[in-house]
């Protein structure tokens, strides 16, 4: 089972072109080899049958012509007859004649009659002929024995070599193999051409599908023919057109959403700035005037028992005024507009360290290369402010750190704490944590915001935004 699965894996990894070429080449080779073997067997059988018939015919001819010569005891003529037979038939390996007692009267062996040849084949008086296949040093020989004058005058023996049959068979086999090679070459050339025709639209579909997978919905595939692949190309083009339209609609909706969110955040920042200014100018001045008048009232009060109460009220006004000033700074710190993000973050971290029992470390690198674009400063400040607010109010943390690094045209911000953490999936839509607002501010700047947290192991927030000033949207004034 595992071996079969492995075979399918290997076969499946081969390209379509290679599979088609392999099929064509395999069929051509299989057909060529099978045909060659079949023709070889059939031709050998036919030539062998013909050689046997030829051996019988020659032996009978020699027998008929040798009858009178034997009766007249003309041994010279017998020898001449055998030599003539051997010279006139290229396949004749030998020929000899024996009398009825088995004595050799004439033969074509110049160097001497080979021993054992007489016993290799014999014909009885009742036989028309007797053929045997004898294995010699020069190969197989078809030996035919024909009785002369019913065996009364002797026997004529003729041996035909199979060498010509073997040579003919080998020659035909070579021709068939050469034909197989030529046909294979033609078949491969035709297969390459047909494979190119068949697989080119498939490869076009593959490249277009890869482009669509990478977000390029403008790719179209040209139908090569009105077949199934052509129908697939038309369906693919229709799909990409629908995807392109859907992507355009999605981009338009995203743009509208971004513009709306940008305006909402800008309106929030303007409203924060207005409220901060009103708190600082109107409410702050009113509370200051009230504090001054209460101080005057305390000094001019003729009743000593009321002075401690007036002082208590004045201290309450002082605390309220401090609270109003802190609230105004949190709503829209003027230092962010005047001195920039670095100074605003330093001041905010000092205030948090002073007001809450959390030790916050601040590190800034590469921030001395000039002011950042105002949208970037506002968005990053709000992200840090919201993150630290969550730390001091919800994380139960003892230590936290803020890292700002400006390098290679990007601003990286990391806020970490050792608090109790939370389940990010459960808190993804929590208004208390404000995760959605943090991520939206980063995305409006074409940046990214990533939150890593595990219950009981603290929280880390990673923010990265471009700071070129030309590729980001406004996140507020």
463: nearest Cα among 446, 89, 374? 446
Q: Are 462 and 414 in contact (CB under 8 A)?
A: yes
Q: What domains does the chain contain, in order, with CATH numbers?
A: 14-174 (3.30.450.20), 345-477 (3.30.565.10)
**Pairing mode, strands 399-407 and 359-365:** parallel
Give the DSSP letter string of 95-157.
Answer: EEEE-TTS-EEEES-TT-PPTTHHHH----TT-S-EEEEEEETTEEEEEEEEEETTTTSEEEE
Who contacts 25 (Cβ-Cβ below 8 Å, separation ≥6)? 184, 187, 188, 191
Q: Point out which residues pair with 247 in neighbouring strands.
A: none
* Residue 218 three-state SS: coil
Give me the pLDDT at residue 257, please. 67
CA distances 374 to 27, 249, 345, 377, 428, Å, are 74, 31, 14, 5, 28
CA distance 62 to 81: 8
Mean pLDDT by 10 residues, the chain (477 residues): 62 67 80 85 88 88 86 87 88 88 85 82 76 83 86 86 86 86 82 77 80 79 75 82 82 74 68 69 74 76 76 80 70 72 88 87 86 83 87 88 90 91 68 67 84 88 78 39
Q: Are 371 and 377 in contact (CB under 8 A)?
A: yes
User: CA torsion, points 330, 331, 336, 337, in degrees to nearest 10?
Assistant: -150
315: nearest Cα among 284, 282, 290? 290
Give me the pLDDT at residue 428, please. 56
Give me the pLDDT at residue 404, please. 92
Using a 10 angstrom Cβ sphere, with 0-12 exposed, 13-18 middle and 19 or more buried, the burial of residue 66 is: buried
Give me the pLDDT at residue 363, please. 92
Give me the pLDDT at residue 102, please. 82
Who contacts 149 (Cβ-Cβ below 8 Å, separation ≥6)? 67, 70, 71
Neighbours of 210 (CB within 10 A): 11
């Amino acid at each position: 089972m595992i071996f079969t699965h492995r075979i399918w894996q290997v076969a499946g990894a081969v390209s379509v072109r290679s599979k088609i070429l392999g099929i064509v080449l395999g069929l051509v080779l299989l057909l060529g080899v099978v045909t060659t073997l079949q023709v070889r067997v059939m031709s050998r059988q036919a030539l062998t049958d013909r050689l046997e018939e030829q051996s019988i015919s020659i032996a009978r001819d020699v027998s008929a012509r040798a009858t009178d010569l034997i009766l007249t005891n003309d041994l010279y003529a017998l020898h001449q007859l055998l030599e003539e037979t051997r010279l006139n038939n290229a396949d004749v390996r030998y020929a000899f004649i024996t009398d009825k007692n088995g004595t050799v009267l004439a033969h074509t062996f110049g160097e001497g009659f080979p021993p054992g040849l007489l016993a290799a084949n014999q014909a009885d008086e009742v036989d028309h002929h007797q053929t045997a296949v004898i294995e010699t040093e020069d190969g197989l020989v078809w030996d035919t024995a024909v009785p002369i004058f019913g065996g009364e005058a002797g026997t004529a023996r003729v041996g035909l070599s199979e060498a010509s049959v073997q040579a003919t068979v080998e020659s035909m086999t070579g021709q068939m193999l050469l034909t197989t090679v030529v046909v294979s070459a033609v078949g491969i050339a035709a297969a390459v051409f047909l494979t190119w025709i068949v697989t080119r639209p498939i490869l076009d579909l593959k490249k277009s599908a890869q482009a669509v997978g990478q977000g390029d919905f403008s790719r179209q595939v040209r139908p090569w023919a009105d077949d199934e692949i052509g129908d697939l190309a038309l369906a693919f083009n229709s799909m990409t057109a629908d995807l392109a339209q859907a992507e355009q609609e999605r981009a338009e909706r995203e743009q509208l959403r971004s513009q709306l969110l940008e305006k909402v955040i800008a309106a929030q920042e303007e409203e924060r700035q207005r409220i901060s200014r009103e708190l600082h100018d109107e409410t702050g001045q009113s509370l200051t005037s009230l504090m001054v008048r209460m101080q005057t009232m305390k000094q001019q009060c003729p009743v000593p028992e009321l002075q401690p109460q007036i002082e208590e009220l004045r201290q309450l006004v002082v605390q309220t005024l401090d609270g109003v000033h802190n609230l105004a700074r949190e709503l829209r710190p003027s230092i962010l507009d005047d001195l920039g993000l670095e100074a605003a973050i330093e001041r905010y971290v000092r205030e948090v360290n002073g007001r809450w029992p959390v030790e916050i470390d601040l590190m800034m690198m590469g921030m001395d290369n000039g002011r950042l674009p105002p949208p970037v400063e506002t968005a990053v400040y709000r992200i840090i402010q919201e993150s630290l607010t969550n730390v001091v109010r919800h994380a139960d943390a003892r230590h936290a750190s803020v890292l700002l690094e400006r390098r290679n045209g990007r601003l990286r911000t990391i806020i970490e704490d050792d608090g109790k953490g939370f389940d990010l999936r459960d808190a993804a839509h929590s208004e208390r944590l404000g995760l959605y607002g943090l991520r939206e501010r980063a995305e409006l700047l074409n940046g990214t915001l990533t939150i890593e947290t595990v219950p009981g192991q603290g929280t880390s927030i990673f923010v990265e935004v471009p700071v070129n000033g030309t590729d980001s949207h406004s996140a507020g004034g």
